Amino acid sequence: MFAVENGLQGDPRLKVISDAIRVIPHFPKTGIMFQDITTLLLDPVAFKHVIDIFVDRYKHMHISLVAGVEARGFIFGPPIALAIGAKFVPLRKPGKLPGRVISEEYELEYGSDRLEISVEAVKYDERALIIDDLVATGGTLSASINLLERAGAEVVECACVVGVPKFKEGQCKLKGKPLYVLVEPSQFDELAL
Amino acid sequence: MQTIIISSPLVSHRLSLALPVPRSPLINYHHGAPPSIRLSSHRFTNSLRLFSSAAAAAASRDSEMATEDVQDPRIAKIAASIRVIPDFPKPGIMFQDITTLLLDTEAFKDTIALFVDRYKGKDISVVAGVEARGFIFGPPIALAIGAKFVPMRKPKKLPGKVISEEYSLEYGTDKIEMHVGAVEPGERAIIIDDLIATGGTLAAAIRLLERVGVKIVECACVIELPELKGKEKLGETPLFVLVSSA
């Protein structure tokens, strides 16, 4: 579900967030309109809005674990985790996490990859939130859900700053888990570049 | 140097007083130069040394260690939450694993608080974080002090126009990149990473920011591996760390 459908209609913060995201056409390959959240991170007000909206949503959901997908999930996950008193668990590319890990392969919008989680990071039945900057095909998040569940957690929701419109009402579940998205992809403004 | 030996149920410690630490002119200090805890995981080695500084200046440019008083319990808790994994990613390396710190909500909160207390109100408008573990610590600090967060990334990750800086690895070289226009000349920045080892990455990050006219107030890391002398690569830029690991 999108924030605007779920209590935040008319919330001016959503436009501030959307306007702060830059579109880079044809990255990493032709035809992809890349949603660049680094410009949002340069705007402390917009960045704080993102965190505030997520924290307001999750602080009373008894979530004890926030998992963030490498690498942009590492930017949004920890501030949320700190604010709601949850631990932060990085979901990483292969070979990065030391100690005992489990891994899951997945297809990307552009390629395929593998994600890993440290087995000791998760307690059985913990309530978990998964964060990434953007959801497109849902492949990365689906792999993340698999990893958290295999490690014993209960995934409460997946959350992203940007999501393609197919995840609006009616299509808003990934592997049976709700998906919460703040904004749709920004449009490319030729004049802005 | 004075040596004090204490023992605890889990690990035996040796406390010693070291030479004093020179101070950055850009940071307000509390009374006394701060002591620090040098800790290796109790699972693998059993030595802990507590350093504290005397008043007079010294020739050696040791890193600034956190805590303004010997009894600060936050540092010990943070140090204890870091797991050491031997022979990762390759034999002979004692890997400092901060993921266990991130599982300890109090330790993670304290880590951020220690950095925020140090950097708030110092007119710092840029927190630059080195991929990928710098992305975990940088943003909470940036949000708390009202600064922007600038990711410094491996090649080809940033989608827009970038500037890059090469640095040496043990074998070969690597590059660190930043978006053009992310920072402006005259801005004051701190650079964050989880750990400083040889200092190569941080030195490259410093050069990158300086090339565009940014003043780096300090480099800040959770952990330092002092034997690797990373601080020497940072030139005039001060280094602040919470935990020094032998």
Q: Which of B133, B165, B177, B224 is catalytic?
A: B133
Report the chain A residue with the minimal C-alpha distance to residue B141: A79
Instruction: Tell me the nearest-neighbour CA distance from A123 into chain B, angstroms.
Output: 11
Say yes or no: B22 contacts chain A, CB-CB below 8 A: no
Q: Which of A26, A87, A186, A189 to mutate to test the interface with B (most CBs of B within 10 A)?
A: A87
Q: Calculate ∠ Cα A85-A87-A88, nearest 5°.
A: 125
Say yes or no: A54 contacts chain B, CB-CB below 8 A: no
Helix (H/G/I), strand (E/B), else coil: A167 = helix
Interface of B with A in 58-117 (CB under 8 A): 83, 85, 88-89, 95, 97, 99, 102-105, 108-109, 112
Cross-chain Cβ contact B112/A82 below 8 Å: yes
Q: Quick one: which of B160, B108, B213 has its CA closest to A81?
A: B108
User: Residue A6: what pLDDT?
Assistant: 82
Q: Which residues of A touch B140 (CB under 8 A)?
A: 78-79, 82
Cross-chain Cβ contact B103/A74 below 8 Å: no
Q: What is the pLDDT of residues A58-74, one digit of tens each?
A: 999 999 999 999 999 99
Say yes or no: A183 contacts chain B, CB-CB below 8 A: no
User: Residue B143: what pLDDT?
Assistant: 98
Instruction: Tell me the nearest-neighbour CA distance from A30 into chain B, angstroms.
Output: 13
Question: Beta strand A87-91 with A101-108: parallel, antiparallel or unpaired?
Answer: unpaired
Instruction: Tell me the nearest-neighbour CA distance from A43 into chain B, angstroms.
Output: 6
Cross-chain Cβ contact A44/B89 below 8 Å: no
User: Residue B50: what pLDDT?
Assistant: 31
- Which residue from A47, A90, A99 is facing B149, i.e. has the nearest CB? A47
User: Residue B118: what pLDDT?
Assistant: 97
The token pair at A48 is 């704080």
CA distance B224 to A41: 27
Low-confidence ranges of chain A (pLDDT < 70): 109-110, 170-171, 191-193
Give the count of alpha carbons within 13 A of A160, CB side only.
30
User: Residue A111: what pLDDT?
Assistant: 77
Fold held by B123-244:
Rossmann fold (3.40.50)
Instruction: Tell me the nearest-neighbour CA distance from B66 into chain A, angstroms.
Output: 21
Bond preceding residue A71 cis, omega within 30 of 0: yes
User: Residue A141: what pLDDT?
Assistant: 95
For helices A12-19 and A44-58, give the axis angle rounded to 10 degrees: 130
pLDDT tens-digit profile, chain B (246 residues)? 433 333 333 333 333 333 333 444 433 333 333 434 444 333 333 233 333 333 333 334 456 766 444 657 899 999 999 999 999 998 998 999 999 999 999 999 999 999 999 999 999 999 999 999 999 999 999 999 999 999 999 999 999 999 999 999 878 999 999 999 999 999 999 999 999 999 999 999 999 999 999 999 999 999 999 999 999 999 999 999 999 987
User: Residue B62: what pLDDT?
Assistant: 55
- Which residue from A70, A77, A88 is facing B132, i.e. has the nearest CB? A70
Report the chain B residue with the minimal C-alpha distance to residue A41: B149
Domain extents for chain B? Answer: 123-244
CA distance B175 to B17: 39
| Contact in structure between A104 and A83 (CB atoms under 8 Å) | no
For helices A73-84 and B134-145, give the axis angle rounded to 10 degrees: 60
| Total-model pTM | 0.85
User: Residue B6: what pLDDT?
Assistant: 32
